[in-house]
Amino acid sequence: MPSFDIVSKVDPQALDNAVNVTRKEITNRFDFKGAHVVIDLNKKEFKLNLETDGEMQMRQLIDVLISRAHKQGIAPEAFDVSKEGAQSGKVWKKEVSVRNGLKQDDAKKIVKQIKDSGLKVQASINDDLVRVTGKKIDDLQTVIQASKSWDLGIPLQYENMRS
The yes-or-no verdict on residue 64 having pLDDT over 90 is: yes
* Model confidence, pTM: 0.83
- pLDDT of amino acid 101: 87
The CATH topology of domain 12-98 is Alpha-Beta Plaits (3.30.70)
In 3D space, the residue among 15, 24, 115, 108 whose CA is nearest the CA of residue 66 turns out to be 15
What pLDDT score does 32 carry?
87
Separation CA 160–CA 6 (nearest Å): 9
Listed in sequence order, the DSSP H helices in the chain are: 12-28, 55-71, 104-116, 137-147
Separation of alpha carbons 5 and 132, rounded Å? 6
pLDDT at position 39 is 93
Q: Which CATH architecture has domain 3-8+102-162?
A: 2-Layer Sandwich (3.30)
Q: What is the pLDDT of residue 98?
A: 92
pLDDT of residue 19: 94
Share of the chain above pLDDT 70, in %: 100
Of the pLDDT bands very low, low, confident and very high (cuts 50, 70, 90), residue 7 is very high
Assign 93 a pLDDT band (cuts: 50, 70, 90).
very high
Confidence at residue 38, expressed as pLDDT on a 0 to 100 scale:
92
Question: Do the domains 3-8+102-162 and 12-98 sit in the same CATH topology, yes or no?
Answer: yes
What are the sequence ranges of the domains in the chain? 3-8+102-162, 12-98
Q: What is the rounded distance in angstroms from the CA atom of residue 163 to the CA atom of residue 122? A: 15
For residue 84, what pLDDT band results from cuts at 50, 70 and 90? confident
